[in-house]
Structure 1
Amino acid sequence: MGTKTTRIGDDAPEDPEDLLPERSVLSLEEYLDMQAAIANRTRFEIVYRLSHADELTPTELDAVMDVDDSTLHYHLNELRDVGLVEKRVRTERDRDGLYTYYRSTVLGDVILEHGLEELIRRERDFREAYDSSRDGD
């Protein structure tokens, strides 16, 4: 039986924890928690909509998403817990009687833009690079 040898490139640290800056604000586990949170379809859509709309109320989110109110609030809380979404509560009602607004944080915008959105945008490149039907055109 052969042995599997794993070689890390010269520019990549041996331990993934070493990717963090010397005085990182977040731990590797916290970054991984963010990645896991946005991997859920509903949470991805919430961050996507908030990132592209500045801020929305739960009522506005509910109007454009096909989820019930309790599910929406559960996912909003999950996203808040990992730092991808923030909640802003007004002290006075606005003209529609609404107090609570949500928006994507900088981390939410970055993980979306440079993570999943980038991967989706580059699908065409990946498909062409790995298309087995092409005979070295």
Structure 2
Amino acid sequence: MGTKHTRIADDPDDPDDLLPAESVLSLEEYLEMQAAIGNRTRFEIVYRLSRTDELTPTEFESMMEIDDSTLHYHLNELRDVGLIEKRVRTERDSEGLYTYYRATILGDVILEHGVEELLRREWAFSEAYDSSEH
């Protein structure tokens, strides 16, 4: 039976063996993160957070033209899988805002080495498979 080329010589045959026994997260948790960022709205939230220190729900609503309940649903989904975190100030700032969100390290990593890497490679893919030049 043929196999695809392997990127790492020691890739296991069973996906359950991809992580070391002392892994911080389980395979299921990593897959949940991947599924969460696979949604267009959640991808945009993490993308925007990875390029700023933090944003408030009000800032998201104006940037993304998204209603409050939909935004909070997606923020909660991303928090549940550990891709973003919420910071609450004990006192409101001058604009009355006190809740802020920021990307976690895992959020930055899954974005940069997952979805964004695929998007960066799109240029190379399209050039490699462009039949109009042949």
TM-score by length of 2: 0.91
The 1:127/1:11 distance shift into structure 2, 3 A limit, reads: farther
Matched residue type, 2:110: I
Q: Which residue of 1 aligns with 2:3?
A: 7
1:74 corresponding residue in structure 2: 73
**How many residues were matched structurally?**
131
Amino acid at match of 2:13: E
The residue aligned with 2:30 is 31
Amino acid across the alignment from 2:3? R
AA matched with 1:119: L
Structure 1 residues 1-137: aligned runs within 5 Å: 5=1, 7=3, 9=6, 10-135=9-134
For residues 17-51 of structure 1, the C-alpha deviation after alignment (integer angstroms, 9 at most, x for no partner) is 22212311111010000000000000000000111
Aligned-partner Cα distance in 2 for 1:130–1:26: 37
Matches of 1:110 and 1:123, distance apart in 2: 19
Q: Which SS does the other structure have where 1:56 is aligned?
A: coil
Q: Which runs of 4+ in 1 moved over 4 A?
A: none
- Equivalent-residue separation in structure 2 for 1:101 and 1:95 (angstroms): 14
Counterpart Cα distance in 1 of 2:49 and 2:3? 40
> Does the 8 Å CA contact 2:56/2:100 hold for their aligned counterparts?
yes
Unaligned ranges ≥5, structure 1: none
2:64 maps to amino acid: M
Q: Which runs of 5+ in 2 are unaligned?
A: none
* Greater Rg over alpha carbons, structure: 1
Percent identity, aligned pairs only, is: 75
Q: Secondary structure at the match of 1:122?
A: helix
| Cα distance per residue 1:89-117 (max 9 Å; x no partner) | 11111111111100000000001111111
